[in-house]
Amino acid sequence: MALITGGSRGIGKKVAEKFAQKGYNLVINYVSDNTNIKELVQELKQEDNQEIMFIKADVTDFISCEQLVKQAIEKFGKIDVLVNNAGITKDNLLARMKEEEFDKVIEVNLKGTFNMTKNVVPFMMKKRYGKIVNISSVVGVSGNAGQCNYAASKAGIIGFTKSLAKELASRNILANCIAPGFITTDMTAVLSEEVKEKIAEQIPLKKMGTAEEVANAVYFLANEENTYITGQVLNVDGGMLM
Catalytic positions: 150
Helix and strand numbers (H, E) in the chain are: 10, 9
Encode 74-93: b = buried (16+ Cβ within 10 Å), e = exposed.
eebeebbbbbbbbbbbbebe
- Distance CA(153)–CA(133), nearest Å, equals 16
User: In angstroms, how far is the first alpha carbon of the chain from the final one?
Assistant: 34
Identify the DSSP state of 92.
B
Contact 235, 241 (CB under 8 A): yes
